[in-house]
Amino acid sequence: MSDDRPIALDEYPVHQAPLSMKHLVTGDRNAYDRCIFQVFDHEGRALLIAGLGVYPNTGVIDAYATLRLGDRLHAVRASDALTDDRMNLAVGPLRITVDEPLRRLTLHCDADPDDPGSLSYDITWSADFPAVWEPHHIQRRGDRLMLEGRRFVQAGKCAGVIRAAGEEIQVTAGEWTGTRDRSWGVRPIPGEEGGRAAEELRPEGFHWLWVPVRFEDRFLMVIVQEDADGHRSLNEALLVRDGERDIQLGWPHADITYRPGTRDPRTAVVHLTDQTRKPVELGVEILASSPLAVGAGYPPATDWQHGTWQGRGWTDRRVYDLTDPTAHPAAAYGVTDHSARFTLDGRTGHGIFEHGSFGRHDPSGFTGYASVAP
């Protein structure tokens, strides 16, 4: 039975519809509200990715953390029944605390009590720049709305400690960077029959870049989404400086150098345009890579995906060996987060070069799902 009594959030003037904050306007099972953080050092030694999501219409809350350290990926995942306490961003050993909205958050993971050497961390994430909106994101398959998301993105510094494999890693503000986004809306979760549209309207290709970069005095955000023939459905190039008006930097184009025999980027140049139409180049050097389909629960992960019901109090820990790509074949058809060093107008910055390219992409010369760089 449903309990329709008011919840704590109903005390606050935050309602967007004549409903309790317990309920969504949409009944779509794929409704979601979640976040992701990337925490990484400037030498490419470690890349921590952590996130938490709620799925109100399936009654699920889940969270994850992965740490790329050398060729090992240490992963923690947890899932449970969603409660009415939406301010409590915790599930299993994973917790996010909003200390000061849009300014400071704390990321925490408990160690496995039976394995003191397992992944754990305590990190303070502090914003250096205002959060900015990304473009409204909409995808359809035929007439069916598959994805509609609203998202903001932000960059800052991190401080704290990460523990894994018996090692304690100090996270220091001058030597580490943090990026994050928050998004909500409708996004596919596993378990739904796709019907005719999934069978007959399968996309021929998908190409994606999501690139938040932190420099000392500015933040740069680049987004590109294209289909098989290069038609662009999402586009952003925005330069942010605290206290100043955001500057649009045109229609970004990326020249990506891939590792031969793969679609694994090694370097790139993103071509931008300033307000005087002068060309601006963003240089990219990949430092460390973490495929989101391994450990982090993003499609097409084969062992766990976000929003799926695992039962109450489910926690899973494992360590993946990333030296053999054939051990994780799904990773090649999912998005990968790469920590990277960037150059722009003589400045050096650090950020994430999130990249996914599957199927045909004419501008890159990829002819199908089996096509790779020469």
- 300-319: pLDDT as tens digits: 999 999 999 999 999 999 99
> Amino acid letter at 315?
T
Element (H, E) at 104: strand 104-109
Structure confidence by residue, pLDDT tens digits, 277-298: 999 999 999 999 999 999 999 9
Question: How far apart are the C-alpha atoms of 214 and 128, rounded to whole Å?
Answer: 8
pLDDT value at residue 31? 97
Tally helices (H) and strands (E) across the chain. 1, 23
**Average model confidence (pLDDT) across the chain:** 95
Over range 128-138, report the average pLDDT. Answer: 95
Q: How confident is the model at residue 3 (pLDDT cuts 50, 70, 90)?
A: low
Label residue 197 by pLDDT band (50, 70, 90).
confident
Structure tokens at 151: 């998202």
What number of other Cβ atoms are within 10 A of residue 136's Cβ? 11
Pairing mode of beta strands 94-100, 104-109: antiparallel
pLDDT at 1: 47
Q: 29-364, what's its fold?
A: AttH-like fold (2.40.370)
Tens digit of each residue's pLDDT (9 = 90 or more) over 351-365: 999 999 999 999 999
pLDDT tens per residue, range 87-102: 999 999 999 999 999 9
Q: Indicate whether 371 pLDDT > 90.
A: yes
Q: How many CA atoms lie within 13 A of 310 on its CB side?
A: 19
- Does the pLDDT of residue 4 top 90, yes or no? no
How far is it, in rounded angstroms, from Cα 235 to Cα 238? 10
- For the chain, the distance separating the N- and C-terminal CA atoms, rounded to the nearest angstrom, is 58
Say what the pLDDT of residue 162 is.
98
36 has pLDDT over 70? yes
Inter-residue contact 217 to 241 (CB < 8 Å): yes
Q: How confident is the model at residue 2 (pLDDT cuts 50, 70, 90)?
A: low
Q: Name which of 317, 321, 319, 299 is nearest 308 in CA terms.
A: 299
Query: Domain-by-domain residue ranges, the chain?
Result: 29-364
- The model carries a pTM of 0.96
Share of the chain above pLDDT 90, in %: 90
Count the residues in the chain.
374
Are 336 and 344 spatial neighbours (Cβ–Cβ below 8 Å)?
Answer: no
CA distance linking residue 311 with residue 373, whole number of Å: 42
Nearest Cα to Cα of residue 242 among 177, 155, 175, 172 = 155
Which residue would you say has higher pLDDT here, 296 or 116? Answer: 296
